[in-house]
Structure 1
Amino acid sequence: MAATGGASSTSPLLAGPPVMRRRRTAGGATPAQTLGNIVVSIVGTGVLGLPYAFRVAGWLAGSLGVAIAGASTYFCMLLLIQCRYGLEAHDDEETGDATHIQSYGDLGAKAFGTTGRYFTEFLVLIAQAGGSTAYLVFIGQNLSSLFTNTSHSTIPPSAFIFLLVLPLELLLSFIRSLSSLAPFSAFADACNVLAMAIVIKGDLQLFDRFSLERGAFNGIWGLPFAGGVAVFCFEGFSMTLALEASMTDRRKFRWVLLLAFIAITMVYISFGIFGYLAYGDETKDIITLNLPNDWSAIAVKVGLCVALVFTFPIMMHPIYEIAEMKLTSIQWFQKFRCNAYGERLCLQGARMLVLLIVAFIASSIPGFGAFISLVGSTLCALLSFVLPATFHLLLMGSNLKLWQKAADYLILLVGLSFAGYGTYHALTDRHN
């Protein structure tokens, strides 16, 4: 999710292959701009949980898990693009009708009708809520760590969530224009890069403690945990079709996407290895918690928390929209709203209620690493692997070669197994 770092937006429909050019307008994004947008959409705070995932699985097993998760996610993103091209080209040739596949939900509707659209968008919504919850957990735990050494008793993360973050988010929920909040998303990405740089600097200062013999492989049962974290870090499926449509030359998208995934995978693996080898079994579920409370570490923690406070409303925006849409469709709401002021008051109340629910969930989560592994191995696995393979089989099945069908079935089975075990592991093995 950005994984948890980028903001969704509505992108224009752009020029694609020849069969689609007569009904799409040209996009303005260059390959370099698209590369940057991909990185912003994928890289988020989840990366700070990778060293802990490497601690659970081992540095070698974790590296393999990240590489496999990256390659699989890239392949499944291409499946979505193939489905879009196939559907639009087929409808043009057979019926002459103009089919517009703009979102993940559109593919769900093509595969399973209205139920498919609702189910797909529901998964995207819950995954978005999971990313928003992770923001609050991250902020609470980092702020709590700043006061560990300054008092006899540690202030719990939930206190910061309810007494500091929640009031600020309630005020920010009154802002309905994403353009007013968008600059803070770039600030958050800059803070993520700065945090990673300072963490790696701290790791290198402990270079004499590095040992490649330290936990290369910590058991097969640690792999699903690390895989869940890795999938969470790579999740960005809700933006795939929009990013591809934003390019002036859409034929170059797969190569731009490949370059982005190679670079991100290398950064993820390096970050996870350095963090785990530096701190070993003392590696915390958020690597910034391992940093000493000196000025640079404090600046990183505070900067990340401030940035996430202002990007949290962007993460919550799709959830707000859906809650308001459902509220306005209820008959009693339509009956009792008397004026524009009363309607706005009710809609704002819905936003506040959603915020309270997310805050209560975040305050009950014991660990950042275990939570993002759960979200990654369940919701993100369904969105990243199960649905793309299913859509590809149903929508493109008659045109697929035998090896393509075999690959889809393999991804489907592995994705379902991964999601099932991830849920079981998170609910039964709480020490992580």
Structure 2
Amino acid sequence: MGDELKSSTIPLLESSSTGTASKIQTLGNIIVSVVGTGILGLPFAFRIAGWLAGSLGVLAAGTATYYCMLLLVQCKEKLASQELTPETETYGDLGYKCMGSTGRYLTEFLIFIAQCGGAVAYLVFIGQNLSSVFKGHGLSLSSFIFLLVPIEIALSWIHSLSSLAPFSIFADICNLLAMAVVVKEDLDKVISGGFRFGDRKAITSSIGGLPFAAGMAVFCFEGFGMTLSLEASMKERGGFASLLAKAFSGITLLYVLFGFSGYMAYGDETKDIITLNLPNNWSTIAVQVGLCLGLAFTFPIMAHPIHEIVEGKLRNSEWLRKVCYKDAAFHLKLFGSSLRFWEKALDYIFLIGGLLFAAHGTYNSIVGF
């Protein structure tokens, strides 16, 4: 009975190891996984550390992150090459095979907290910028976040990284255009502002300056939690290391240019977020809207490791198996492999909604007595 149930179980979300993404799709997902809001603080980090120390710090952080991601893939390949060792798909699998149940729980907990924190930060950042752009229209920060959440939930249902690639590429374009506008404003400031290179320090004399800049540089390279999923999503996994190297080379050089130009433009007046230095005109609005769009379509990528962890726990839950495969969800069980995405989504809405209403009704009945 247990084997029959196991064989008939339909995963809540599509596995990330199907290997359907092309190199271009994976490249788009890598870029959108790595580039985040931290880049806006790079010019300030260059001000604190100095333009030379800041540049070297970004190069070191990018190289270290790339190397550690490769080590992670090598660990996965090492385990996969061992006899009788099944496919390692997630961080939890890797943690379990290296350190047992403690390794799985600790790894999944850290990934879950990190990705949830990033996802919440994205929502707050988008809400703050939209409320700033559209102030006076009667919508508060919480209202914008409330309107955004259903959209992000819908996008997060797309669990396949190859299917998310178009959204990732669109997010990359939005982020790139926003950064291009910022760099243009920086160059205009340098040209018209009586710029003197000698006024910009190369290395800070402050003891705490370098550690702060190093921390900011590390923060800029997000996406470490997506390493295994990105590698597993590729059709040709052998080319992942080379593709990752190209992506990190471009991103690192872009980061250095962004931080350097921002600090050169504003010097000691560089704000902790570079957009605060921009004039209050269309360029600032364009940057804010571009970043909001980019982060809105980055959110599903940020939520991807969370889905893997939660789905794994739900799939192994005896309670969920009883509910989904004995008492209800007959349509999903019989037609799951042939259903369209919207049909599956609708089935889950009915299933979850029914369970919630049943629980609510039961609670009210008990409280009524």
Q: Does TM, scored on the shorter chain, surpass 0.5?
A: yes
Q: Number of aligned pairs?
A: 315
Change (3 A) 1:259 1:212: farther
| SS of 2:86 mapped into structure 1 | coil
Change (3 A) 1:213 1:161: same
Cα drift, residue 123 of structure 1: 1.1
Q: Which amino acid aligns with 1:67?
A: L
| 1:261 correspondence with 2:243 | no
Residues 199 and 267, structure 2, Cα contact 8 Å, conserved in 1: no
2:145 to 153, 158, 165: 165
| 1:122 correspondence with 2:109 | yes
Residues 131 and 144, structure 2, Cα contact 8 Å, conserved in 1: no
- How far apart, CA to CA, are the structure 2 residues paired with 1:299 and 1:61? 31
TM-score normalised by structure 2 residue count: 0.71
Q: What's 2:4 paired with?
A: none
| 1:216 correspondence with 2:196 | no
| SS of 1:178 mapped into structure 2 | coil
Q: What's 1:12 paired with?
A: 17
1:303 to 286, 290, 296: 290
**Counterparts in 2 of 1:83-162, with a 5 A limit?**
83-89=75-81, 91-92=82-83, 97-143=84-130, 145-146=132-133, 160-162=140-142
Greater relative CO, 1 or 2 (CA 8 Å, sep 6+)? 2
Q: Which amino acid aligns with 1:110?
A: K
Q: Which amino acid aligns with 1:344?
A: I
Cα drift, residue 294 of structure 1: 1.7
- How far apart, CA to CA, are the structure 2 residues paired with 1:331 and 1:253? 39
Residues 179 and 287, structure 2, Cα contact 8 Å, conserved in 1: no
Q: What's 1:413 paired with?
A: none
Q: Which amino acid aligns with 2:118?
A: G
1:344 to 326, 330, 352: 352
Q: Which amino acid aligns with 1:227?
A: A
Q: What's 2:181 paired with?
A: 198
Cα drift, residue 41 of structure 1: 2.4
Residues 174 and 348, structure 1, Cα contact 8 Å, conserved in 2: no
- How far apart, CA to CA, are the structure 1 residues paired with 2:159 and 2:290? 21
Change (3 A) 1:179 1:293: farther
| 1:188 correspondence with 2:171 | yes
Residues 33 and 301, structure 2, Cα contact 8 Å, conserved in 1: no
Q: What's 2:66 paired with?
A: 74
1:29 to 19, 22, 29: 22
Q: Which amino acid aligns with 2:30?
A: I
**Counterparts in 2 of 1:33-72, with a 5 A limit?**
33-72=25-64
Could you tell me which runs of 5 or more consecutive residues in structure 1 were left unpaired when the two chains were aligned: 1-7, 15-26, 350-432
- How far apart, CA to CA, are the structure 2 residues paired with 1:253 and 1:279? 39
- How far apart, CA to CA, are the structure 1 residues paired with 2:74 and 2:355? 39
- How far apart, CA to CA, are the structure 2 residues paired with 1:214 and 1:295? 28
| SS of 2:248 mapped into structure 1 | helix
Residues 177 and 290, structure 2, Cα contact 8 Å, conserved in 1: no
Could you tell me which runs of 5 or more consecutive residues in structure 2 were left unpaired when the two chains were aligned: 1-12, 330-348, 358-369
Cα drift, residue 310 of structure 1: 5.4
Greater CA radius of gyration, 1 or 2?
A: 2
Q: Which amino acid aligns with 1:118?
A: Y
Cα deviations across residues 390-429 of structure 1 (Å, max 9, x unaligned)? xxxxxxxxxxxxxxxxxxxxxxxxxxxxxxxxxxxxxxxx
- How far apart, CA to CA, are the structure 2 residues paired with 1:191 and 1:173? 21
**Counterparts in 2 of 1:404-423, with a 5 A limit?**
none
Change (3 A) 1:100 1:72: same
Change (3 A) 1:278 1:147: farther
| SS of 1:132 mapped into structure 2 | helix
- How far apart, CA to CA, are the structure 2 residues paired with 1:251 and 1:313? 25
Residues 66 and 245, structure 2, Cα contact 8 Å, conserved in 1: yes
1:229 to 195, 208, 216: 216
Identity of aligned residues (%): 56
Q: What's 2:265 paired with?
A: 278
Question: CA RMSD for the aligned pairs?
Answer: 3.8
Residues 152 and 296, structure 2, Cα contact 8 Å, conserved in 1: no
Cα deviations across residues 96-137 of structure 1 (Å, max 9, x unaligned)? x24312222222111111111111111111111221132134
- How far apart, CA to CA, are the structure 2 residues paired with 1:119 and 1:172? 27
- How far apart, CA to CA, are the structure 2 residues paired with 1:106 and 1:207? 51
Residues 65 and 226, structure 1, Cα contact 8 Å, conserved in 2: yes
Residues 103 and 238, structure 1, Cα contact 8 Å, conserved in 2: no
Change (3 A) 1:318 1:205: same
